[in-house]
Amino acid sequence: MRIRVGVVGCGQWGQNYLRVLTELDDTELVAACDLREPARVRVAARYPGVRVVATADELLSDSALDAVVVATEARSHFPVVAAALRAGKHVLCEKPLTVQVSEAAELALLADACDRRLMVGHIFRYNAGVNALKAAIQAPDFGAICYLCLVRTNLGPIRADVNAAWDLAPHDVSIVLHLLQTMPTHVSARGFSYLKAHREDVAFITLELPAGIAAHLRVSWLDPRKVREVTVVGRQKMAVLDDVQTVEGLRIYDKGVLQEPSYASFGEFQHVVRTGEVRIPPVKGDEPLREQVRHFALAVIEGRRPLSDGWDGVRVVAIMDAIQRSLQADGARVTPELPASLPHEPLA
């Protein structure tokens, strides 16, 4: 079985969805829409036979369409996704699901009521390196996790609809939820605007998690280097994932700090650094976007809930909302507020 899919928004990321949908066995690209005429002309030339229209309403009127991918600007997600669900379509929506917690929860509830699959494009849930990292830090010999550090920087692209935090941090927030399977209790964030007033180009974010774990995020679209790095420090071992590296991107360090008796003073301990071998496990996997779209297609075909479903999107939006409130309060410590409608299910 193949699902018939349309794409709403054919910009930079939308073009990637168009390509992947034509490559997979489980999907058939049948329609695309974009408000911009040059984008429509480009899609029509590259994908002959695909119906190309100007508005989402035109696309959604096709009764033969099974699902849609929404790859428009973040602030337009809510009305487009809601219209698609009401039209009986399954939806894969780019991150973040919305920029308001109440709207994200409304979409998740609507998807459940319509019995449609709603999936959010938290692409790092389908990244082979991130999943290998998750397996490594869950191993008993890794030890209890102390803290994480996640860096996501580059020079551009500069967004006009949201700040750098809303553009970049949802990826790392999703990674933290995926790795630790727990919500932060508090967040704090400082941001700085250099290109346009009141729109942060760089942000420094701290998530406080249960068991004393901290996750520090640095995001910027005004940086000379493209960095996609996750560091996890455990009591027994440490791990670094460099997602920019296509080879040997994950390294597990057998390093830590021991407490040994100090014979200079009875009953006291001295800290001794322990350094062991570095292990580079093989990481095998397909392109993350292909894995994500394949997962969505199978969820539709088999009628099961996607890993990054609408409620997962709600959690990420709730954390991003707390980050935004902290940015506006000059770094104040803020508690993420989850809607009462959120199902009490364990995080995947």
pLDDT value for 270:
57
Q: Tokens representing 157? A: 């692209």
What was the pLDDT predicted at 293? Answer: 98
Cβ 118 vs Cβ 111: under 8 Å: yes
Name the token pair of 122. 């938290």
For residue 260, what pLDDT band results from cuts at 50, 70 and 90? low
Q: Which tokens hold the place of 206?
A: 């701290």
* pLDDT for position 262: 56
pLDDT band for position 268 (cuts 50, 70, 90): low
Instruction: Tell me: pLDDT of 178 over 90.
Output: yes
Distance CA 218, CA 189 (A): 10
Percent of the chain with pLDDT over 90: 88
DSSP secondary structure string, 162-230?
S-HHHHHHHHHHHHHHHHH-S--SEEEEEEE-SSSTTS-SEEEEEEE-GGG-EEEEEEESEEEEEEEEE
Per residue in 31-59, pLDDT (tens digit) is 999 999 999 999 999 999 999 999 999 99
What contacts 150, CB < 8 A, 6 or more positions away?
A: 172, 175, 176, 215, 216, 217, 218, 229, 230, 231
Q: Give the Å distances, CA to CA, from 269 to 86, 145, 214, 255.
A: 64, 22, 25, 19
pTM equals 0.94
Percent of the chain with pLDDT over 70: 94
Average pLDDT, the chain: 94
Average the pLDDT over 318-335 and give the result: 98
Residues 18-42 have a mean pLDDT of 97
Which pLDDT score is estimated for 337? Answer: 96
pLDDT in tens, 295-317: 999 999 999 999 999 999 999 99
- Confidence band (pLDDT; 50, 70, 90) for 125? very high
Predicted confidence band of residue 111 (pLDDT cuts 50, 70, 90): very high
| pLDDT for res 44 | 97
- pLDDT per position as a tens digit, 82-92: 999 999 999 99
Res 258: pLDDT: 61
Q: How confident is the model at residue 134 (pLDDT cuts 50, 70, 90)?
A: very high
